[in-house]
Structure formats: C-alpha cells, structure tokens
Amino acid sequence: MHGYLSEFLSYELLFAHLNATCVKLQRHGARFPTIGAAAKMATAILNAQQAIAYLDPAFEFIKDWEYDLGYDDLINYGAAQSFETGEETYKRYSTLVSQDNVPFVRASDGTRVVLSATDGFEYASSGIFIPSAPLLISESGNDTLDDKMCPNAGDSDAQTEQWQDVFAPTIVERFQKVLPGSTLTNADIPNLIALCAFDTLYKEVQSPWCGLFTLEDYWDYEYYGALDKYYNTGYA
C-alpha cells in the first residue's frame, strides 16, 4: 500500500521459448529517498516538531526524532533484492551463458542502477560469470532509460495536489489534536507516510511513523502514488 515504494511482485507467466536470446528490463533495488524527497520529509518532521505538547504516547518519539536517512543510494535491502533477482535470472537462463557469452548490461549511470544491474548475476553465479563492463548512459543526455528525457514528459502536480487536498486534511486535523502547535500542512502528509516505508526498510525494523496512520490512510496514499506515476512518468 505504498504505491511505487512497494516491493515488486513476480509475474507468474514465464516465457518458454526464448530462442537463445533473453532481454531483461529491470529496475534498481530499494534505495534511500531522492534528495528532493528527503528534503520534503525533513521539512515535514520539523513542522511536526513545532508541537508544544505530545498528547498521545505514540507520537512522543517525534520530539527527538532526527532524519538520518541518506539519499539516492541502494540500501542493504535493495542490494538483497538485486541479488535475488540476479539469482532468479541465472537459474532460469544459465544455459544461455558461457565465458564467451556473458550478459551485456546497459544502464543509466546512477550508482544504484549499475550495482542492481551487475552484482546480482555475478554473485548468483559464484563469480563465474561477470557481466561485461556496462554501457553507462548519462541521465543528462539522450537516455531513454531516464523518465525526464522526453521534453513532453508530463507533470502530476495538479492531480496529486487535488487528491492530497481530499485525503490529507483529516489526517492533519487528527495529528494537530495530539500535536498542538504543530505546523503540519496537507503537503506534509504524503511525505510522512512515505517515511514509514523508507525508515522501515533502511533500519530493518518497523518505523514508529507507520503506527501513526490508519489502513485507510495507506490506501489513500496508494492512490496518490498511482496518480503521480500515471501523470508524471506514464503516458497520460
């Protein structure tokens, strides 16, 4: 229920006849927030910390909370995901690989993307088959793997803000009852919900932020994420 932050789900249908050729499109493993998202989360935390009292014990941790996540890079969980997908690929298609026919990797030049693309397969084969040096494509140039490359790329601000103003006010109101003096806004709510996922996966223990939101809140955030991806990086 964390939208695009959720784990991937394996597709059940496998392709039986590959004719000795396999092309795999893979996204990088779990990462820290982007630098822009990290800044928004930090701002939301500061707004919550303007509270002059914490009237619910579940919210008391906020008083001394410090944002300690990095940005952009893979986290340990993401590295494990990359290993698992590399292992799965190796098990399925190892008959297509030899010392003279190692996987060829084309990737955007972000560190997390390169590591996700190469390390999993190498580790899964016990270092026997190391993908050739990847062809790295600069995200500042003509890179079809970058979601901002197209000059006609969409913008989801209008759609996400419209939905945000539907579901976030009740959450802000609920928080302000137990955080009097806080300066939370509607825009802070999606960032705090996202913090639940990022903080949990990085520290590998459920974040205290997660317990502040209801099941309905998470479903609302799921739709928020769907709107963002559909209108921002989809084909709308």
Q: Please, are residues 117 and 134 in contact by the beta-carbon 8 Å criterion?
A: yes
Pick from 66, 91, 76: nearest CA to 29: 76
Work out the angle at residue 201's Cα, subtended by the Cα atoms of residues 197 and 204, and round it to the nearest 5 degrees. Answer: 130
Q: Please, are residues 195 and 209 in contact by the beta-carbon 8 Å criterion?
A: yes
Element (H, E) at 121: helix 111-124
Q: Is 28 a catalytic residue?
A: yes
State both tokens at 29. Answer: 């493993």
Q: What separation in angstroms does the CA of 146 have from each of 110, 141, 192?
A: 10, 9, 26
Element (H, E) at 46: helix 35-48
Of the listed 3, 5, 28, 115, which one is catalytic?
28
3: left (phi over 0), alpha (psi -120 to 50) or beta: left
Pick from 165, 175, 169, 185: nearest CA to 227: 165
| Phi, psi (degrees; rounded to nearest 5) at 98 | -150, 175
d(CA 48, CA 137): 40
Alpha helices in the chain (DSSP H): 35-48, 76-93, 111-124, 157-178, 188-203, 215-232
- As annotated, the active-site residues are 28
